[in-house]
Amino acid sequence: MNPTLEIHKGKIAKNAEAVLNLCRGRGIEPAAVIKGYNAIDDVTDVIVEAGYKTLSSSRLPHLRAVKRRGYRAASLMLRLPMLSEIREVVEVCDASLNSEAETLARLDAEASQQGKRHGVILMRDLGDLREGIIDSPRLIELACRTERCHKNLDLLGIGSNLSCYGSVMPTCQNLSLLADDAAEIEREIGRKLDVVSGGESTSLQLLLRNEMPGGINHLRIGGAIMLRAEFSGLREGEMPDVTDDTLILKVEIIEIGEKPTHPIGVLGVDCFGNKKTFEDRGVRRRALAAIGAFDVGSHEKLVPLDENMKILGCSSDHMIIDIHDCARRYALGDIAEFKLLYQAMLYATANPMVSKVVID
């Protein structure tokens, strides 16, 4: 059996609704982020059905699929457009996140060419050091310039991204800076901004604790809809309606038995060039499963459903699992089951060698 990813639509629908209700209850409109599950149509169907008005991704093929399927939702490009993809961005996306004056000028010219309008959300870097303008005067100036000079662009608002490169947490303090920028831009241009986008799934914790500063009215949510993201900062008991078993990966056991836990021989590096150390735990029962880095990136991003199972490592196509303490007596040909963390979701959903099975 190919490694198989079960996609549980009912569970995804519940999560999507729980996130939507939480946000709308606090005056926030969430855009659904479809990149994390590789924009699998069955999942996007569920998310649109739940009532999300914007579908967003960092990848144009995902947004092209949104247009092709004719959803009523708007499409938002999350990654700053490459200069080499301006034409397609204007064709396929209703709006995009931006930080470069040159890119904005090119989007404006292209929108004029195509006889279209293109929405823009300007990004402020609040310290996570990925995309965005790092100081507020420059952000405000670019916003005013966009409003006044780019006749084919609609300045929808501003936004920020956190918890990605710099692992900076969203807080009332840093998001207040974004809300202040928005207020200043609104004064300068003499109208309200539609969107003040305060981050991604990790920002939900501020909503739950009533710490979201006023003025933030938009979030971009992917991870929390799919898997109660491991990095979302949620505490025990918060968002009990959101589960992390929407995707279950099933893999077949191809060798089983007892082996030593310490390798035998002179140690160099493993198949990925890593030097490793091993704890000698004696001879233990283990299983070899037909899956590897090819399918999930790293074994560390899988969580066994059997709590007593421990993943020891993987190469490209094999995963080594300690089953010594499992109550169930696994046999050759049995199926081991795993939940996925975000990175494993990225790999497994996008890999054509992982079969997908949609379950209602």
Ligand X SMILES: *Cc1c(COP(=O)(O)O)cnc(C)c1O
Return the active site residues.
35
Helices (H), 190-231: 204-208, 223-227
Segment lying near ligand X (by CB under 6 A), choices 139-147, 180-188, 216-224, 261-269: 216-224
Asked if residue 185 binds ligand X (CB under 6 A), the reply is no
Please report how close the Cβ of residue 123 comes to ligand X at its closest, in angstroms.
8
CB 142 within 8 A of CB 122: yes
Asked if residue 119 binds ligand X (CB under 6 A), the reply is no
Question: Going by DSSP bridges, is the β-strand pair 302-304/310-314 parallel, antiparallel, or unpaired?
Answer: unpaired
DSSP state of 77: E
Asked if residue 200 binds ligand X (CB under 6 A), the reply is yes
* Identified binder of ligand X from the candidate list 213, 222, 292, 313, rule CB under 6 A: 222
Per the DSSP assignment, residues forming a β-bridge with 218 are 29, 197
Give the CB-nearest residue to ligand X.
222
Q: Which is nearer to ligand X, 94 or 322 (CB)?
A: 94
Asked if residue 157 binds ligand X (CB under 6 A), the reply is no
Q: Which residues 6+ apart lie within 8 Å of 329 measured at CB? A: none
CB 98 within 8 A of CB 124: no
Q: Which is nearer to ligand X, 110 or 128 (CB)?
A: 128
Tokens describing residue 330? 């696994």
Asked if residue 35 binds ligand X (CB under 6 A), the reply is yes
Segment lying near ligand X (by CB under 6 A), choices 32-40, 104-112, 114-122, 277-285: 32-40
CB 161 within 8 A of CB 131: yes
Asked if residue 128 binds ligand X (CB under 6 A), the reply is no
Write the interaction track for ligand X spanning residues 241-280; mark x where CB under 6 A is met and - where it is not: ----------------------------------------
Near ligand X in 74-113, by CB under 6 A: 78, 97
55 three-class SS = strand
As a whole number of angstroms, the distance between CA 325 and CA 231 comes to 28
335 three-class SS = strand
How many Cα atoms are found within 13 Å in the side-chain-facing hemisphere of 24?
11
Asked if residue 221 binds ligand X (CB under 6 A), the reply is yes
Segment lying near ligand X (by CB under 6 A), choices 98-106, 215-223, 240-248, 330-338: 215-223
154 three-class SS = strand
Near ligand X in 49-68, by CB under 6 A: 58
Q: Which is nearer to ligand X, 13 or 326 (CB)?
A: 13
Question: Going by DSSP bridges, is the β-strand pair 4-8/319-322 parallel, antiparallel, or unpaired?
Answer: unpaired
DSSP state of 133: B
Please report how close the Cβ of residue 221 comes to ligand X at its closest, in angstroms.
5
As a whole number of angstroms, the distance between CA 104 and CA 81 comes to 9
* Identified binder of ligand X from the candidate list 99, 161, 174, 246, rule CB under 6 A: 161
Question: Could you tell me how many residues of this chain bind ligand X (CB under 6 A)?
Answer: 15
Please report how close the Cβ of residue 203 comes to ligand X at its closest, in angstroms.
9
Q: Which is nearer to ligand X, 111 or 346 (CB)?
A: 346
Please report how close the Cβ of residue 264 comes to ligand X at its closest, in angstroms.
43
Q: Which residues 6+ apart lie within 8 Å of 125 measured at CB? A: 99, 131, 132, 133, 134, 160, 161
Asked if residue 14 binds ligand X (CB under 6 A), the reply is no
Largest CA distance in the chain: 73
Segment lying near ligand X (by CB under 6 A), choices 5-13, 33-41, 69-77, 179-187: 33-41
CB 209 within 8 A of CB 164: no
Asked if residue 218 binds ligand X (CB under 6 A), the reply is no
Q: Which is nearer to ligand X, 4 or 161 (CB)?
A: 161
Tokens describing residue 253? 């056991």
- The footprint of ligand X (CB under 6 A) covers 33, 35-36, 58, 78, 97, 161, 200-201, 220-224, 229
